[in-house]
C-alpha cells in the first residue's frame, strides 16, 4: 500500500474554501468552470485526477465533473475553460451524473445548501483508460497509484 504524503494543496480564486460558490459557476448562472490551481505535488507525480461531487444530493453522491490523466505539468484550470481547452491540456474528461461529458455546476434542489467537494489526486502514472468514463471506472483504475490527495469544499443553495 502506498503512503500518501499530504503536501498537495488545491485552491480556487473563484470561491473561498467552505464558502458559497458564486451563481455563475452553477446551473442558475453561466455554468462555467471555476478557477482551480494546485501545488505541492509529491515527487513522482505523473498525472492528476479531479473529481467534483455533491454528497448531499438526495439518494447518492452526485458527480458533477471527472477529469483524469491531467499531465503532471498542469497546475490548474482557469475560470471558464471549455471542454476543448481542458482536453487540449492533455487531460481526459469523464461522464458526470447528468449523463454528459465535462463540467456541470452545482444544481441542488431548492432548500438547504449542499457542499460541493472538489477532490484532487496526484498519481504516480497515467491511467491506461479511454476518455469519457465514469467516476467509478476512474477510481478503480487509480487504486495503488495515489501519491497524495486534497480537497476544497464550496457550498451552494437554491432559493
- Higher-scoring residue by pLDDT: 88, 21: 21
Number of domains comprising the chain = 1
Q: Kindly report the average pLDDT of the chain as a whole number.
A: 95
The rounded distance, in Å, linking the Cα atoms of 154 and 30 is 17
Give Cβ neighbours of residue 80 (< 8 Å, ≥ 6 apart): 30, 32, 33
Model pLDDT for residues 99-113, shown as the tens digit of each residue: 999 999 999 999 999
Tell me, yes or no, whether 3 lies in a domain.
no
Q: Would 2 be classed as within a structural domain? A: no
**Model pTM greater than 0.85?**
yes
Asked whether residue 30 is domain-assigned, the answer is yes
The dihedrals phi and psi of 135, each to the nearest 5 degrees, come to -60, -45
**Burial (CB count <10 Å: 0-12, 13-18, 19+), residue 5:** middle
Give the structural domain span for 146: 9-156
Residue 110 within a domain: yes
Does residue 113 belong to any structural domain of this protein?
A: yes
β-bridge mates for residue 14, sequence order: none
* pLDDT of res. 2: 56
Please tell me the predicted confidence (pLDDT) of residue 3. Answer: 60
Q: What is the pLDDT of residues 7-63, one digit of tens each?
A: 999 999 999 999 999 999 999 999 999 999 999 999 999 999 999 999 999 999 999
CATH number for the domain harbouring residue 85? 3.90.280.10
pLDDT confidence of residue 83: 87
Amino acid at each position: 500500500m502506498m503512503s500518501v504524503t499530504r503536501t498537495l494543496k488545491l485552491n480556487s480564486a473563484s470561491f473561498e474554501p467552505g464558502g458559497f460558490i458564486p451563481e455563475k459557476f452553477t446551473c442558475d448562472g453561466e455554468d462555467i468552470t471555476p478557477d482551480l490551481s494546485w501545488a505541492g505535488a509529491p515527487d513522482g507525480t505523473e498525472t492528476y485526477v479531479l473529481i467534483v461531487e455533491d454528497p448531499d444530493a438526495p439518494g447518492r453522491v452526485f458527480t458533477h465533473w471527472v477529469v483524469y490523466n491531467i499531465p503532471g505539468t498542469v497546475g490548474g484550470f482557469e475560470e471558464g475553460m471549455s471542454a476543448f481547452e481542458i482536453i487540449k491540456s492533455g487531460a481526459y474528461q469523464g461522464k458526470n451524473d447528468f449523463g454528459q461529458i465535462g463540467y456541470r455546476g452545482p444544481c441542488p434542489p431548492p432548500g438547504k445548501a449542499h457542499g460541493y467537494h472538489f477532490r484532487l489526486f496526484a498519481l504516480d502514472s497515467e491511467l491506461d483508460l479511454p476518455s469519457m468514463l465514469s467516476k467509478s471506472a476512474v477510481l478503480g483504475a487509480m487504486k495503488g497509484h495515489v501519491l497524495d490527495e486534497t480537497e476544497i469544499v464550496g457550498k451552494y443553495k437554491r432559493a
